[in-house]
Amino acid sequence: MGKQLITLTVNGDEYELAVASHHTLLDVLRNQIGLTGTKRGCTAGSCGVCTVNGERGEAILSCLSLAVEWDGRSVTTIEGIRQGGELHPVQQAFLEYGAVQCGFCTPGVVMSAKALLDVTTSPSEDQINEALAGAICRCTGHIKIKKAVRAAAAVMRDNEARDDG
């Protein structure tokens, strides 16, 4: 049961990797590539701390996906969402609104929020709840997190308006 060669693009950088077939995308991101921003929590899909964004920007669980399944594909992790050296509006809003306590769930929550805001920058309250339902914060609660997501959405709307104008 040897290793398999895959090509994986992470945050725009292409990696050629020899991966064990039973290692997950999470294992490879953290242990082979060294991107430890994506966290390892329950490893069974329940906690959402391992959330990254897939090819179409969709939120996925890197703990429930084999690295070999991502051969030839690209993913975005928390390390890759800065825009031109600046924090992503979601990251910036999390800082401003104190939407972080211990920080362990933060990468998964931010990647969940980004997946939503990439599709719509005017999300309804229901859409925000739904998008965040799979990334659970167990210490600070979700009030500040939701405030931060709404604020980030507003910034992204302004940016869009500026770009259009």
Ligand X SMILES: Cc1cc2nc3c(=O)[nH]c(=O)nc-3n(C[C@H](O)[C@H](O)[C@H](O)COP(=O)(O)OP(=O)(O)OC[C@H]3O[C@@H](n4cnc5c(N)ncnc54)[C@H](O)[C@@H]3O)c2cc1C
Compute the least distance from the CB of residue 40 to ligand X, in Å.
15
Rounded Cα distance, 150 and 90, in Å: 9
Please report how close the Cβ of residue 45 comes to ligand X at its closest, in angstroms.
Answer: 3
**φ, ψ (nearest 5 deg) of residue 75:** -135, 160
Minimum CB separation of residue 80 from ligand X in Å reads 25
Q: Does 36 bind other proteins (CB under 8 A)?
A: no
Q: Which of 7, 21, 31, 46 binds ligand X (CB under 6 A)?
A: 46
> Greatest CA separation found in the chain?
56
CA–CA dist 109, 12 (Å, integer): 21
Binding to ligand X by residue 45, rule CB under 6 A? Answer: yes
- Given ligand X, other proteins, none, residue 60, with its beta carbon under 5 to 8 Å by kind, binds other proteins
Q: Can you state the angle between helices 143-164 and 106-119, rounded to 10 degrees?
A: 40
What residues numbered 61-100 form the site for ligand X, per CB under 6 A? Answer: 64
